[in-house]
């Protein structure tokens, strides 16, 4: 089969299209004929091995432990391994795995769910990591309820575009923060208000929010909390920027400690992958209250360009690789 492979950590130039053996499903795994794969920030981190914290999490100290890139997947079950009970060949599914930039990939049964019936494979591939992360930020960490004022920083990105829609689905009044080129997109996602950060500063605008979801990963805690109500919640979703060791994740690690001395709550979200949240997400997707926003779709051979484009931060919503 054809796959996008890398032998060493580095830039997208390290990614190569090669012929490699087709995998076989093991215990509790399904073999998926990949139809589309999403491109999320995690792909870039695993490609570069940066920050170094990524390598310490077991993905390979000197080179990638799994050489095929890609983690979000949508496709058709081709075969099932021993012990699989929820799927059979021919089922259309979406979920997470290691190595989705390929014609076939094996995924654990508990990380896969049936594809939402109303979505294309490309739309479904945009959701497993980004939308589930947004769901956990809105529902679990932020505990958003109807009538609250919610601010989504990075509203035009992969996670942010889903967070805007989910916060609206939970009944909140949503304000999205994004760059000029993404204002129309964020407004089309249902945001009640949109702030162009190149022109206005939400921290000094005088509006206080019950929940702030920071998906952009580079603002200091001291800045964002100025726009938070005295009992509000600020959620850091992942981390970008920062040094080579932690790469911005230090905000997520240190935020809860600051909460001890404040009425405000600061939480760092590290999303967890599971099929139950994929099924919960499916209810929103099939109802039409949440819809993936896709900027560009690339062919498998163009996956290196897809990763580079996503990491530039210009993508309006998600980037997808079609196979």
The per-residue pLDDT for 61 is 66
Token readout for 213 is 């979801």
**224/178 Cα distance (integer angstroms):** 15
Greatest Cα pair distance, the chain, in angstroms, is 58
Q: Kindly give, in sequence order, each residue whose CB lies less than 8 Å from that of residue 287, ignoring residues fewer than 6 positions away.
A: none
| For the chain, the helix, strand and coil percentages under 3-state DSSP, each to the nearest 5 | 35, 30, 40
The one-digit pLDDT tens for each residue of the chain (323 residues) are 999 999 999 889 999 999 999 999 999 999 999 999 999 998 888 898 765 566 555 567 678 888 999 999 999 999 999 999 999 999 999 999 999 999 999 999 999 999 999 999 999 999 999 999 999 999 999 999 999 999 999 999 999 999 999 999 999 999 999 999 999 999 999 999 999 999 999 999 999 999 999 997 677 888 889 999 999 999 999 755 555 544 455 555 666 666 656 789 999 898 899 999 999 999 999 999 999 999 999 999 999 999 999 999 889 999 999 99
What does the buried/exposed string (b/e) look like for 272-284 if buried means 16 or more CB atoms within 10 Å of the residue's CB?
Answer: ebbbebbeebbeb
Cα(264)–Cα(258) distance, integer angstroms: 9
Q: Report pLDDT for 189.
A: 98
Which sign does the torsion angle of CA 216, 219, 220, 222 carry?
Answer: negative
Q: Which two tokens stand for residue 119?
A: 């979505």
Prior bond of 193 cis (ω within 30°) = no
* Beta-bridge mates of residue 211: 150, 233
φ, ψ dihedrals at 98, nearest 5°: -120, 115
Q: Which residues have a Cβ under 8 Å from the Cβ of 222 and sit 6 or more positions away? A: none
CA distances to 79, 97, 120, 129, 276 from 104, in Å: 11, 11, 18, 19, 24
Q: Which residues of 26-53 are buried (b: 16+ CB within 10 A; e: fewer)?
A: eeebbbbebbbbbbbbbbbbbbbbbbeb
* Exposure b/e, 173-195, CB count within 10 A at least 16 = b: bbbbbbbeebbebbbebbbeebb
Residue 135: strand, helix, or coil: helix
Q: Is the pTM of this model over 0.85?
A: yes
């Amino acid at each position: 089969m054809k796959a996008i492979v890398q032998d060493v950590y580095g830039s997208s130039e390290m990614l190569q299209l090669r012929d490699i053996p087709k995998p076989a499903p093991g215990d509790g795994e399904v073999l998926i004929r990949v139809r589309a794969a999403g491109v999320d920030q995690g792909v870039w981190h695993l490609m570069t091995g940066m920050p170094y914290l990524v390598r310490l999490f077991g993905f390979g100290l000197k080179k990638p432990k799994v050489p095929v890139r890609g983690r979000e997947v949508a496709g058709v079950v081709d075969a099932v391994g021993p012990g699989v009970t929820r799927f059979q060949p021919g089922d259309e599914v979406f979920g997470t795995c290691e190595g989705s930039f390929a014609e076939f990939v094996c995924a654990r049964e508990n990380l896969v769910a049936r594809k939402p019936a109303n979505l294309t494979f490309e739309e479904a591939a945009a959701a497993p990591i980004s939308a589930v992360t947004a769901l956990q930020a809105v529902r679990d960490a932020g505990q958003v309820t109807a009538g609250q004022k919610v601010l989504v920083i990075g509203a035009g990105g992969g996670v942010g575009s889903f967070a805007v829609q989910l916060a609206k689905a939970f009944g909140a009044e949503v304000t999205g923060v994004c760059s000029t080129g993404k204002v129309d997109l964020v407004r089309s996602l249902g945001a009640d208000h949109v702030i162009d950060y190149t022109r206005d500063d939400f921290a000094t605008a005088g509006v206080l929010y019950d929940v702030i979801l920071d998906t952009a990963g580079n603002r200091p805690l001291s800045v964002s909390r100025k726009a938070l109500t005295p009992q509000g919640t600020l959620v850091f979703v992942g981390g970008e920027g920062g040094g080579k060791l932690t790469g911005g994740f230090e905000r997520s690690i240190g935020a809860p400690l600051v909460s001890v001395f404040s009425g405000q709550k600061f939480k760092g979200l590290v999303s967890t992958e599971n099929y139950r949240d994929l099924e919960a997400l499916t209810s929103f997707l099939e109802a039409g209250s949440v819809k993936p926003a896709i900027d560009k779709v690339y062919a498998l051979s163009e996956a290196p360009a897809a990763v580079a484009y996503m990491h530039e931060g210009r993508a309006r919503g998600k980037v997808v690789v079609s196979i």
